[in-house]
Structure 1
Amino acid sequence: MEPYRIAVIVGSLRKDSFNRMMANAVVKLAPSDFSFKQVQIGDLPLYNQDDDANPAESVKRLKGEITASRGLLFVTAEYNRSIPGILKNAIDHASRPYGQSAWAGKPAGVMGVSVGATGTSMAQQHLRNVLAYLDVPTLGQPEAYIQAKEGLFDEAGNIGAGSIKFLQKWMDHYVAWVKKHAA
C-alpha cells in the first residue's frame, strides 16, 4: 500500500515558532505508513487574481505539493483572534483560479499552540470555516487547543510527558480520519 503523504501547513513564519515545533513533534506520533512534509508558504507573493493565468513558481510548487498529498495537517498560530495572513494567503493561492482548488476533498486535521489559556481556538474556528467552504473534510474531535507552557516539549523537541497521551489520542483519531476520507 502506498504511504499516506500528508502536507503540513504551519501558519507561522517565526524561526522559533511553537507551532513549527508542534508540527515537527506531533508527526512522530503517526504510524509508519504516514509521511509528512512541511509545505513552504513564506515565499508566496500576495494573492492577486490578475496572476491566476500565470502563477509564480512558488505558487505552482504549493499547488503541486497539496495535489500530491492524501491529507492535510494545519498547525497554526492565532493572530488577533484569527488565522495569520500568511496562512490565508496560501489557502487563497491553492484554491484559485475558481474551480481548480488543490484543497478540495483532502482530509484535514487542525491544531495549534499559543501562550494563551485558550490556545488557538479562535484561529482554528476561523480556519475550519474556510476549509468547509473549500470542501475539505476536517476532523472535528478531539480538538487540540494547546497552551505553550513548561513541559509541552522535552529537551529533544519531542512531545513532553504531560501531553503525550492527549496528543497520541489526537494523532490516532487524525490517522483514522485520513484513512476514512483519503481518495
Structure 2
Amino acid sequence: MSKKVLFIVGSLRQNSFNKQMAQIAEEMIGDRAEVSYLDYADHPLFNEELEAQGVPAMDRIRKELEAADLVWIFSPVYNWAIPGTVKNLLDWASRSLDPSDHAAASSIHDKFFTVSSLANGESPKAVFKHYRELLPFIRTNVIGEFAGGPI
C-alpha cells in the first residue's frame, strides 16, 4: 500500500512561493507516495460553540488528516510567525475527537509532521521555531530537519 502524504500550503494565494515549492516536492516524490493537498480555505475560525454544533468542513478535513501517513506544511511567514490560517487549522485539528474527554486523541495525535518554508530573509528560521514549539505541544511527531530559505 502506498504511503499518503498530505500537503498543507500555508498561503491561500494561488501561485504562492510555498505552493510552488510544494509542487516541486510532489514531483520529487513521484510515485513513491500518494500526495494530496488539503483544501482548508472554507473552514471557520475556531469557536467552541461551532465545534459543539459540528462543522462539515472540519469533518472532511479531519478525515483527510487521519488518512495521511505524513503531513507536510509549506509555510510562509507572516510577521515572523505561523500564518493565522495554518494556526487556526491546527487549533481545530488538535481538538479531541471525543467531546467528553478533552485529553483523548485528535485527528493529528501522533501524526508525523514536517515543515518547509520560503520567505523573506531569515524569517523561515523564526517560523520554524514556532512550529518546533507548537507541533509537539499538540501531540504530533515532528520528523526531519525543517527546510527552507529566503526568497
CA contact (8 A) 1:8 1:73 kept: yes
CA contact (8 A) 1:118 1:145 kept: no
2:102 pairs with 1:103: no
Output the amino acid matched with 1:88: K
Q: Secondary structure at the match of 1:6?
A: strand
Q: Secondary structure at the match of 1:130?
A: helix
Question: Match for 1:145 among 121, 127, 148?
Answer: 148
Alignment partner, residue 122 of structure 2: 118
1:22-171 equivalences in 2 (<5 Å)? 22-30=21-29, 32-97=31-96, 98=102, 99-114=104-119, 116-141=120-145, 143-148=146-151
Output the amino acid matched with 1:138: V
Q: Secondary structure at the match of 1:50?
A: helix
CA distance in structure 1 between the partners assigned to 2:5 and 2:53 by the alignment: 27
CA contact (8 A) 2:9 2:74 kept: yes
**TM-score with structure 2 setting the length:** 0.88
Size of the aligned set, in residue pairs, is: 145
Identity %: 26
CA distance in structure 2 between the partners assigned to 1:112 and 1:6 by the alignment: 17
**TM-score with structure 1 setting the length:** 0.74
CA distance in structure 2 between the partners assigned to 1:51 and 1:127 by the alignment: 26
CA distance in structure 1 between the partners assigned to 2:150 and 2:80 by the alignment: 15
Q: Any stretches of 5+ residues in structure 2 without a counterpart? A: 97-101
The structure carrying a bigger strand percent of its residues is 2
Q: Secondary structure at the match of 1:30?
A: helix
Output the amino acid matched with 2:56: E
Q: Once superposed, which parts of structure 1, at least 4 consecutive aligned residues long, lie more than 3 Å away?
A: none
CA contact (8 A) 2:10 2:85 kept: yes
CA contact (8 A) 1:76 1:124 kept: no
Q: Secondary structure at the match of 1:113?
A: strand
CA contact (8 A) 2:73 2:116 kept: yes
CA contact (8 A) 1:52 1:96 kept: no
Alignment partner, residue 174 of structure 1: none
Deviations 1:9-32 (A, max 9, x none): 111111221011111111211252
**Bigger Rg over Cα:** 1
Alignment partner, residue 99 of structure 2: none
Q: Deviation at 1:133?
A: 0.8
Q: Any stretches of 5+ residues in structure 1 without a counterpart? A: 149-183
CA contact (8 A) 1:105 1:136 kept: yes
CA contact (8 A) 2:3 2:34 kept: yes
CA distance in structure 2 between the partners assigned to 1:145 and 1:22 by the alignment: 9
Question: Aligned Cα RMSD in Å?
Answer: 1.5
